Amino acid sequence: MVTQPILVDTLPLLHQCLQDIAPSAAATSTTIFVDAEGINLCRQGKISIVQLRASGSPNVWLLDVIVLGQQAFDETDERGKSVKGVLEDPGVKKLLYDVRNDGDALYNLHGVYMQNVFDLQLLELAVRYHTNQRTRLLNGLGRTIDSHLSLPSGCGKIKAEGRALFAPELGGTYEVFVRRPLDPRLVAYCAQDVALLGELEEKLLATLERVSKATGAEEESMDPTLKPLVGVIDLDATDTLAQLSVWCIIVLYDPGPTNTPSPAPTHSASALSPPAPTRNPFPFMHKPNTLDRDRIVVPAGLGSWGEIGALGDRFEARVWDKA
């Protein structure tokens, strides 16, 4: 969908914005894509622009908070709708990427307490987690868009020109967000990110659904006795300490008594024979490794071979050191 940025710096334009984003009485569900730009965007900073787009609408509304001030949030139309009311409406889904600073600034600077918020940054993290990718750090919106969406070359140009205006490392300054009139390149930059949030959500959800179906099919073919451990341990662990944790959990795991009724007693000879030993339902699949010194776990704090050797008289630490 081709989107059209509209800078809202007058009350008539604000009323048009509310007509577009505020759900009517007949609407069953509405999603609003939200973003914000400013200087030091948090409770100690300043909001310059709030970007809003309703799902299914081609319009990206850029609320000029520098010009309108608190009216940008409190002004009501003839239906009694306001931007503050829409953002606080629990019946309207607000979709953002990394809500933390935006939510902090909106609440502490303008008294807007957003409800029913869906953070795409967490969805992107979930996708990486379930596709066995690194999850130690959160990804920014730019990296996520580059990883999951195929964009025309013009989008890259808009992004680069916008960043050059405000990024200090590129010779820009955040003060451009409060200068008026707003630079047209900054208008295009602000509109682009929020315009892509809907497409990004669809792509991430589709990826997560595909992974979920594949995982479900794999679990269906799994030994039923192993299913309680899915998501608790890595059954395919290759790292030594990971293997050790798998072994500990398997040894300690007790599936509990079964509800299978005992067979009725008989007088046959087989009834007098001892019961068959119970098979371990969770066999440890990794072969023991007794020759690789790199896989011997030594408690932290031991500073000499003598201290390490005291762990057991059968472990010759100096011999292993020279092996």
Q: What's residue 164's pLDDT?
A: 95
The pLDDT of residue 291: 46
Note the Cα 194 to chain centre separation in Å: 18
The pLDDT value given to residue 269: 46
* Residue 261, φ and ψ in degrees, nearest 5: -70, 145
Which of the 8 DSSP states describes residue 9? -
- 123-141 per-residue burial string, b: 16 or more CB within 10 A, e: under 16: bbbebbebeeeeeeeebeb
Q: In what order do the strands lie in the sheet with 30-39?
A: 4-8, 59-64, 46-54, 30-39, 92-96, 117-119
> What is the predicted pLDDT for the residue at 307?
62
pLDDT of 152 reads: 79
Please give the pLDDT value at position 292: 47
- The pLDDT score that the predictor gives to residue 293 is 45
Helices 184-220, 120-130: crossing angle, 10 deg rounding: 40
In angstroms, how far is the first alpha carbon of the chain from the final one? 67
User: pLDDT tens track of the chain, all 323 residues?
Assistant: 567 899 999 999 999 999 999 977 655 568 999 999 999 999 999 999 999 999 989 999 999 999 999 999 999 999 999 999 999 999 999 999 999 999 999 999 999 999 999 999 999 999 998 888 988 899 999 999 999 998 877 888 999 999 999 999 999 999 999 999 999 999 999 999 899 999 999 999 999 888 887 766 655 665 565 555 555 545 555 555 555 565 565 555 545 554 555 555 555 544 555 555 555 555 555 555 544 444 455 555 555 666 666 555 555 666 666 65
Backbone angles phi, psi at 111, to 5 degrees: 65, 25
Q: What is the Cα–Cα distance from 73 to 48, expressed in whole angstroms? A: 13
Give the predicted TM-score (pTM) of the model. Answer: 0.67
pLDDT of 190 reads 94
Residue 308: alpha-carbon gap to chain centroid? 43
